[in-house]
Amino acid sequence: MKIGITCYPTYGGSGVVATELGKALAKRGHFVHFISYALPMRLSGFQENIVYHEVEMANYPLFEFQLYTLALASKMVEVARYEKLDVFHCHYALPHATSAYLAKQILKDTDIKIITTLHGTDITLVGLEPSFLSIMKFSIEQSDGVTAVSRFLKEKTLTNYNINKDIEVIPNFIDVEKYRRDPATKFCSRCAPEGEKILMHTSNFRPVKRVADVVRIFNEVQKKIPSVLVLIGDGPDRSSCEMLCRELGIEKKVKFLGKQMELVPILSNADLFLMPSQSESFGLSALEAMACEVPVISSSVGGLPELQVHGETGFIAEIGDIDRMARYAVDLLSNPSKHKLFAAAARKRAVEFESSKIIPLYEKYYEKILGNNS
């Protein structure tokens, strides 16, 4: 198949899923064309069957705001026509599915299909803005196929937008060969020189991630257990979290690593992963941690209970219940045999989301939407 993938190229779950999917599809013999405004973060290096097409932005003094949706649609038309694409696969609905709809109108002489994969904040936050509600509903309804990364997200989409459409649930996936604990890595030995327990969190530091809760949970834990907190990523809440660490007097025990490309050597040092999000449609970073044998303490929101097994791979608590999450953390960190069982269970659960099991679900779905599933 010839597949045009559009995603956000930056640090973020939807871009990671889109890029890893494209790379896996290319390895399986499909031709994949990435269409975006920048090279997707995980798309470095040459790979057979993959081409990247950059959306060029027209600059004209009259355009106070750049016309990305239109520029993207134009590039989609160009790539589809000359590369004879079978399908546009849009990751994150806005504006990608809208641009694809526009492109498809221009490509009326072709039979190109649109598949939109919903990832989370496109449905739970951005699309609910009153100014976007109708365009979101329209773009989803006009897609030939729609997938969501959890049952939770599927239900939210149907009810939030009052949509009557088949939505296929295809969860996030992980390369469990690449994401496996490597005991040889000593990445964090400087962070925890006295053998302290290491708690970790990865995110884009947006309010939805509640990173301040991560800091507060750690503050409780470090009172009882010698420990350090390693925070990976960057975003709007980072400065206020750094400030909070200073206010709590724990700044020496908290390491902000910023954005990191290679997570396995870091995760391989973690004892516990914290994800107290306000909303989380799946929780890809929790899956990455679990694959590296790191138990997770998370909130009970969204798709997290579809990933995590409470009392086996980690613990789940109500949003904002810092005390309970801290108690769970102390319980696990002070009980080595229990921790070992949880770490093994986390890895075992992650293996259920192995790429080789999930990628064929996308292929099968493409076939269905293209009408090749005789």
* Segment lying near ligand GMT (by CB under 6 A), choices 10-18, 27-35, 220-228, 352-360: 10-18
Give the H/E segment covering residue 258: strand 254-258
| The one segment of 60-68, 69-77, 186-194, 273-281 that binds ligand GMT by CB under 6 A | 273-281
Binding pattern to ligand GMT, positions 231-270, x when CB under 6 A? ----------------------------------------
Q: Which CB atom, from 42 or from 81, has the smaller least distance to ligand GMT?
A: 42
| By the rule CB under 6 A, 13 interacts with ligand GMT | yes
Pairing of strands 87-91, 167-169: unpaired
Asked if 205 touches ligand GMT (CB under 6 A), the answer is: no
* Cβ-based nearer residue to ligand GMT, 175 or 251: 175
313 binds ligand GMT (CB under 6 A): no
Which residues in 154-173 contact ligand GMT (CB under 6 A)?
172
By C-beta, is 3 or 148 nearer to ligand GMT?
148
Question: Residue 178's CB: how many other CB atoms inside 10 A?
Answer: 12
Subset of 89-148 contacting ligand GMT (CB under 6 A): 92, 119-121
| Token duo for residue 78 | 């160009």
Among 227, 281, 298, 355, binds ligand GMT (CB under 6 A): 281
Contact range with ligand GMT by CB under 6 A, out of 158-166, 251-259, 265-273, 279-287: 279-287
**Angstrom distance (rounded) from CA 16 to CA 136:** 22
Binding range to ligand GMT, per CB under 6 A, among 6-14, 27-35, 158-166, 261-269 = 6-14
CB 161 within 8 A of CB 124: no
Please state the closest distance from residue 285 (CB atom) to ligand GMT, in A. 7
Q: Give buried/exposed letters for 40-78 (b at 16+ CB in 10 A, else e).
A: bbbbeeeeebbebbebeeeeeeeeeeeeeeebbbbbbbe
Residue 303: how many other CB atoms lie within 10 Å: 25
Q: Which of 334, 281, 326 is nearest to 307 (CA)?
A: 281
* Total chain residues near ligand GMT (CB under 6 A): 20
DSSP 298: E
Phi and psi dihedrals of 245, rounded to 5? -60, -40
Q: Is 282 in the site for ligand GMT (CB under 6 A)?
A: yes
* Span near ligand GMT by CB under 6 A; candidates 67-75, 255-263, 280-288, 309-317: 280-288
Question: What one-character DSSP code corresponds to residue 58?
Answer: P
**Closest C-alpha to 200, from 12, 329, 341:** 329
Q: Does 355 bind ligand GMT (CB under 6 A)?
A: no
